[in-house]
């Protein structure tokens, strides 16, 4: 998956319009559209902002890393354990 497709997927999954994302980035809707269409590439600063907004690594955004990482900082051990259990259940479900 290329950067533009990954950005669009993250944006739509988060329930954001291009305009809403653009406001968070301090850009115009047109620039976000260009990113998704792959006619422009974000600066390193914007790439870092995108990673922060979507709680993913810049490597994930760029397609270097294919696994998505969930940020569990600030959660209790019990909450982390519950999330880990859910992930394992979903993985098992996909295998069947």
Q: What percent of the chain stands above pLDDT 70? A: 94
- Taking the CB of residue 6, how many other CB atoms lie within 10 A of it? 19
pLDDT digits (tens, 9 = 90+) for 23-56: 999 999 999 999 999 999 999 999 999 999 998 8
Q: Which pairs with CB-CB distance under 8 Å and at least 24 residues apart come from 72-81?
A: none
Structure tokens at 76: 């209790």
Domain 3-62 CATH superfamily: lambda repressor-like DNA-binding domains (1.10.260.40)
- Each domain of the chain, given as residue ranges in start order, spans 3-62
Per-residue confidence (pLDDT) for residue 88, from 0 to 100: 84
User: CA-CA distance, 88 to 78, in Å (whole number)?
Assistant: 15
User: CA-CA distance, 94 to 88, in Å (whole number)?
Assistant: 10
């Amino acid at each position: 998956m290329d950067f533009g497709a990954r950005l669009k997927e993250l944006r739509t999954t988060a329930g954001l319009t291009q305009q809403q994302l653009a406001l968070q980035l301090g850009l115009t809707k047109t620039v976000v559209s260009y990113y998704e269409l792959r006619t422009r590439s974000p600066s390193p600063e914007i790439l870092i902002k995108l990673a922060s907004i979507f709680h993913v690594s810049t490597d994930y955004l760029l397609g270097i890393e294919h696994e998505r990482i969930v940020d569990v900082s600030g959660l209790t051990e019990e909450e982390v354990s519950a999330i880990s259990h859910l992930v394992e259940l979903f993985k098992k479900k996909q295998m069947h």
